[in-house]
Amino acid sequence: MKWILVAATGILLALSSQVQAFEGDYNKGIYQSDRCIELLTQGRSSDSYSYSLDSDDYQVRDYGNDHLADAYVWIRILIGKLGCGKKDINFGKGPLGRAHSRCRRLVPHAANSITCYIESNLGYFFVTHDMQTKVNIVFNRFD
């Protein structure tokens, strides 16, 4: 009976240390995401911020009609340029669980009207291309 009590205590101690390690990793992830939101909002000076990147300054493969993949790449370029890490953003997770992202042509027959709405753990983005070489990205923080 005594050895069962010793074994149970050992198991509880081992589980406790694993929970503490997980909490440390979880809190580090929250800190990194907060830091990235801080960078995206210019020190939280606004809940939304717009950026413009020149596609001539970056080598990005042509995604053809896969506008969503293209938008993800441009957002990753932006957050990297601002100083966020690759793991700071999760495109699969939105504020209520699974992210809902899509691209739509807002005006029929106008290729330059394609707008992508991208949700992430940091907030949501709108990505558009102008008729020249600019990629316009608007970041909006979730409240």
pLDDT higher than threshold 90 for residue 13: no
Among the residue ranges 11-25, 53-67, 102-116, the one predicted with the least confidence is: 11-25
Residue-wise pLDDT tens digits, 70-126: 999 999 999 999 999 989 999 998 877 888 899 999 999 988 899 999 999 999 999
pTM: 0.76
Residue-wise pLDDT tens digits, 2-11: 555 545 455 5
Q: Find the mean pLDDT for residues 17-37.
A: 55
- Spatial separation of the C-alpha atoms in residues 21 and 31, rounded to whole Å: 15
Neighbours of 85 (CB within 10 A): 12
- Spatial separation of the C-alpha atoms in residues 19 and 81, rounded to whole Å: 34
Question: Are 116 and 91 in contact, with CB atoms under 8 Å apart?
Answer: no
Let me know if 23 is exposed, middle or buried by CB neighbors in 10 A (0-12, 13-18, 19+).
exposed
Q: Find the mean pLDDT for residues 27-33.
A: 53
pLDDT higher than threshold 60 for residue 30: no
Where are the chain's structural domains?
Answer: 2-141
Q: What is the band of 63 on the pLDDT scale with cuts at 50, 70, 90? A: very high
- Spatial separation of the C-alpha atoms in residues 97 and 121, rounded to whole Å: 9
Q: Residue 2: its pLDDT value, please?
A: 59
